[in-house]
Amino acid sequence: MILALDAGNTNICAGCIEGGEVRLTARIATDRRKTEDEYAGVLEAVLRMNGVGPDSLDGSIICSVVPPVNRCLSLAVEMITGRTPLFVKPGLKTGLALRVDNPEGLGSDRIADAVAASALYGGTVIVVDMGTMTTLSVVNGKKEFLGGAICPGIRLSQQALAAGTSQLPAIGLDPPERAIGRNTVECMKSGAIFGTAAMVDGLIAGIRRELAEKGEPAPRVVMTGGISRFIAPYCRETVTVDPDLLLKGLWLLYQKNVRRKEAGR
């Protein structure tokens, strides 16, 4: 079993994965002020609460888009497992050809998503990852990462509305009753949920057209990330929701890099 961490701008998703199966997941807040001891304490408490002791962990892998927390997370994981974690970074074996202008600038989360989508779904896949940011990543049947799109996430947009205006409140993500809101909160919910779904549908449609022009087959769409369950029901596009896609990608990356290296010794 390995410990996999996906460090995002808002939350750190921790997962324990065994044989490619995600056994448990937990979310803790991303806090740049936390020390390695604090992160270790929180992570170990989460593991023990779910019946996982440090001795049952064979290794670990970290995917992070928040560089300021990388050192503390690395030290925290090493304190728990006794081993230095593997980081998703340039130079790692992915099994993908990165057909983008600057491969080294590609987010490690998008790499993990693409690795999992390619291995688990095959063919041409559009991955929609909905967290602090909404990202769309495209990988084809030749295992080529073709690029995608990046947009503000729904919560980030809501925070901007509340912070940048005088009369708009913070709202939750409970579904709106109608597209035509009858008060401020209903209007904001409509814009947040229906608007985000429409944006995703529009981007997917645009990507489909461009792929068709290049002779690529019709893509499958896989949606993941903490916000996906709120948006998927309102998308007109047919989507497969896989909440643990990124963690599965981290498992595959660990196997490609650490296990293969150990086998070669």
pLDDT by residue for the chain (265 residues), tens only, comes to: 999 999 999 999 999 999 999 999 999 999 999 999 999 999 999 999 999 988 899 999 999 999 999 999 999 999 999 999 999 998 899 999 999 999 999 999 999 999 999 999 999 999 999 999 999 999 999 999 999 999 999 999 999 988 899 888 988 888 899 999 999 999 999 999 999 999 999 999 999 999 999 999 999 999 999 999 999 999 999 999 999 999 999 999 999 999 665 544 4
Tell whether 242 is in a known binding site.
Answer: no
**Would the annotation count 108 as a binding residue?**
yes
pLDDT per residue as tens digits for the range 181-190:
999 999 999 9
The pLDDT value given to residue 153: 94
In order of 126, 149, 191, 209, the CA distances from 206 in angstroms are 12, 11, 21, 5
* Residue 178 pLDDT: 95
109 is catalytic: yes
Q: Which two tokens stand for residue 125?
A: 């896949």
Tokens of 104: 């080294």
Identify the pLDDT of residue 21. 95
Query: Is 151 known to sit in a ligand binding site?
Result: no
Tell me, what DSSP letter sits at residue 214? T
pLDDT of residue 262: 55
* CB environment 227-260: b (16+ within 10 A), e (fewer): bbebbbebbebebebbebbbbbbbbbbbebbbee
Q: List pLDDT tens digits, range 84-111.
A: 999 999 889 999 999 999 999 999 999 9
Is 226 labeled as ligand-binding?
no
Cα gap 202→128, rounded to integer Å: 12
Domains of the chain: 2-87 (3.30.420.40), 97-248 (3.30.420.40)
At 95, give phi and psi (nearest 5°): 80, 5
pLDDT of 265 reads: 44
Residue 132 counted as an annotated binding residue: yes
Q: How far is CA 201 from its chain centroid?
A: 19
Is 102 flagged in the annotation as binding? no
30 is in an annotated binding site: no
d(CA 209, CA 66): 33
Q: Which of 109, 113, 242, 244 is catalytic?
A: 109
pLDDT for 218 equals 96
